[in-house]
Structure 1
């Protein structure tokens, strides 16, 4: 079977459904012919059936990278994982392997096919028909970047189903955009999503390094290596709104570690691309953090070490008086143990100058088992 070649950036589902309309063959009958597999439905945004590319006169690589959302799904993967997944998908369907996870990530937070009325008019003028553009189907994309206008939401699901008409003939309605998120932020999400779908050169280690540097520039750094991940997560949730994040599958349950904090870790984590896009836009748009560098650190608040030092000296003075009354000498460790300061004293002596001076005087006295200097002769 020979079908018409695809139009620029036409998503693979649009190509197959257009073939149904032009041939008059029902989708469930056409799919086995096009894919060579006994299937009755096919993802609208993803495929790795080699016969699909051959049917439309394309190489498998051209089909995957120009007419599916596959490049978007692997854009933020670790380089080794990206190479492994690409080889597996390009080799075609394999027993026990599935594109289900990739397809899920490709349409995360998306339910209906989207269209741009102005693109439809342009397509009708240029090609005599309209078609579904792949960039319009990217997660959290509400704007047509070509015309800078809001997209429309069709009544057809982005998931496999019945045959879909061309967008110019599809019933549609105003798209539900996130409440409280500025238009320029919505546009930036669309831009970064399209960039992720087109670019093949992103490397996850460099991306994460950029995240961490930007976070430090915004004032979220604790040290040269540590960041306030919990503060970034809280501010990101406030920036987008919990309702929106939950609706697109990027909520942050209190029972688990927030995903923005995980993305900031140097280790490679294969998180859905939408989370990378949302974090990037937040870090670009966020104002400098006004939070204290210790406000969101886990564990107890910073202690008043001068007060701790004074209390330790009082405790040791009392302990020393007891040992004198019993007529026995003692060691530094025996005096420090009741204060709970033994470890801090060993590793951070510079923080406790008064304690160091007190112990120095003690070690030079006759009360110390290991006396410094000359001990008076006992007759």
Structure 2
């Protein structure tokens, strides 16, 4: 048995755990050594990956963006493919390519029950600093209602894998705010082997956020999986929002495995509810969880050098009805900047009665 030391202000906590790493599903990651930008995922992460959190099979795609040349891989071709649904891959040549969108790609809820977008490790989807990249909303009539309980339906099941989302911008959105790269409500969302760079959403407000991803209702309250993915990763690549520099959600559970969050910023000011005279926001440098009956599980991940103006420089987790829990295992959480209200662990803001389990981790 090895012992892990957690330094918390003047207190020293000693945790015992097994030296043997978990073994589970192996997920091949073509963005482990990319030609540009930080890699996808935490190379030191040893978290087990459940079978339903792995890559989806795209060996028989429903749609192919491009005909083998970079010129054929246009933003409109991608938007059309997303509207059609199914399993989507790219044929843009053998070199990395950036596809810039002039408008947001939107999923139609009746196009297919399963939607997979696989960039093969070569594709970057860009919002050009002007538009959000991807949008799914089971309760948006414009995207076609498919059930009477839009907030709790099992489809569409959206997976994004082996792809980079960059320069998405949802700051001009007024109705469906947050989520510079991805805004998702209903069905299921899964993120595997992805990178999120320089995405931005609304930069102030008490209840808006997700520089990279904003999520609402998930089917049967099942978790959003984030696996082998990177949000920021180096200075100059971080994502920005009023709250949740990388991730933001209301009443949603997350399971985050072998991932990296760094240099993301929550730049709102005044918290939630907003302090008088302020616009509100500024919590959750990397991750912002709000709502009821939610859980946050983070394993095999690195969370460092994220920044806030209000609370929770690494993680903000507030369950309004004081339910839910946090699990942190085999993680390093360090050098996050700013904030306050850390009743138990540095950089993690939560209620003092929130259940939190920490093992084989450094939090400082």
TM-score range, shorter chain: under 0.3
**Which structure shows the bigger proportion of residues in strand conformation?**
2
Bigger CA radius of gyration:
1
TM-score, structure 1 as length reference? 0.21
TM-score norm. by structure 2 comes to 0.22
